Amino acid sequence: MRLGIIGLPNSGKTTIFNALTGQNLATGAATSGQFEVHTAVVNVPDARVEKLIAMYKPRKTAYATVTYADIGGLEKGISDGGLKGQFRNELGQVDGFVHVVRAFQDDTVPHPYGDVNPQRDVETLDGEFILADLVMVEKRLEKLQSDMRIRGKAVDKAVPVELELMERFKVQLESEKPLLELEIAPDQEKSIRGYGFLTLKPVLVVVNQGDVAGDLAKQMNYTRAGSRVVGLQGKIEAELAQLSAEDAGMFMQEYNITELSAAKVIRLSYELLAIQSFFTVGEDEVRAWSVHIGATAPEAAGAIHSDLQKGFIRAEVMKYEDLIAAGSEAAMKATGKMRLEGREYVVKDGDIVHIRHNA
């Protein structure tokens, strides 16, 4: 799972990146139009993993992870003529966006548009992404229409199907609405995945409050499909990420912070992308795995290793809550709550799974 952290210059997106990842990158306005990407892989905080570690005392532990990419160079007008090259590729390859909008005043860091207006700023980049997608759709339509004219009845049968879809996309984008609000069949979505349309990706809007208390996110009017809005004290939480656990605890108590931004944003990222965790356990390793909500047992097996999916026979499944309540696997078996599930079983968040498979 890869999320792109985006935002206008001086929005504090690198500050948020530092808060999420514990890194200490230099902050400040990016040079106009400059392309720059910093990435970091972070563990997904999960109290369930801690309890499973205490129960199994494994030799190794692995949390689910998320990759954050701090993408610089976005500003008003960047999509004129369409996004190109590595910039477009980087934005197109992420699974979703963490869009940082500025809600703090700081005379030493002027806003590029003169005043602080989070609503305007989030709509500015949304508009740029709509324009970028529209340019791509129009170019694709030209190519498809050309194929239809040249090949006639001999044209590939997929061409008229895609042409109809692109025409729908064009109408949607010209109405200044994101593609994510359209109903798209699963097979259609799969066929266009390689295009990396930006407005097909969900967005977590992070209102960067600097060191201002309260929840300024409540002042935002942002209801687009596939979106969430959360307010964070970016300056404070970036400083917290650089402290020891003991010092951070004292700092949090002083500022009445009950949860670090990393845990909150990662949890919301999971909800945003319809991702859930299941676990494999044992004396060798306790590990959290990420799968999409609705994944079947064979698909979960494939997340562990492709060979397990190919040779899938059955899945031994325990509910996390049942295991904790029972106190051990032996107790689970005694109560009959360890189940054998087949290929149609849909994995639930928190399931503990052991795959039976052909070698």
CATH number at residue 90: 3.40.50.300
Asked, for residue 90, whether it belongs to a domain, the answer is yes
Helices and strands (H, E) in the chain, number of each type: 13, 12
- Those residues whose C-beta lies under 8 Å from the C-beta of residue 69, and which sit 6 or more positions away, are 2, 3, 4, 5, 37, 38, 39, 90, 94
CA dihedral 259, 260, 262, 265 (to 10 degrees): 50
Based on the domain organization, do 65 and 142 belong to the same domain?
A: no
Do 185 and 215 reside in the same domain of the chain? no
- Same structural domain, 227 and 252: yes
The pLDDT score that the predictor gives to residue 31 is: 43
Of 81-85, 214-218, 265-269, 343-347, the one with minimum mean pLDDT is: 81-85
Distances (CA, A) of 11 to 24, 29, 177, 201, 210: 17, 8, 24, 21, 10
Give CA–CA dist 31/10, Å, rounded.
Answer: 11
135 and 103, same structural domain?
no
Give yes or no for a contact between 17 and 107, defined as CB atoms under 8 angstroms apart: no
pLDDT, tens only, 239-285: 888 888 888 888 888 877 777 777 888 888 888 888 999 999 999 99
Residue 356's beta-bridge partner residues?
A: 314
Domains held by the chain: number: 3
Kindly state the average pLDDT of the residues 151-169: 90
> Which stretch of 80-89, 142-151, 183-192, 323-332 has the lowest confidence by average pLDDT?
80-89
pLDDT in tens, 303-320: 999 999 999 999 999 999
First-to-last alpha carbon distance for the chain, in angstroms, is 29
How many other β-carbons are positioned within 10 Å of the β-carbon of residue 339?
A: 15
Q: Residues 196-238: pLDDT tens digits?
A: 999 999 999 999 998 887 778 888 888 888 899 998 888 888 8
Q: What is the pTM of this model?
A: 0.87
- Residue 261 identity: S
Write down the mean pLDDT value for the chain.
89
Over the stretch 91-127, which tens digit does the pLDDT of each residue have?
999 999 999 999 998 888 889 888 999 999 999 999 9
Q: What is the CATH number of the domain that holds 353?
A: 3.10.20.30
Do 74 and 8 fall within a single domain? yes
Print the domain residue range for 268. 2-46+61-114+202-272
Last residue of a domain, one of 176, 199, 222: 199
| Residue % of the chain over a pLDDT of 90 | 56
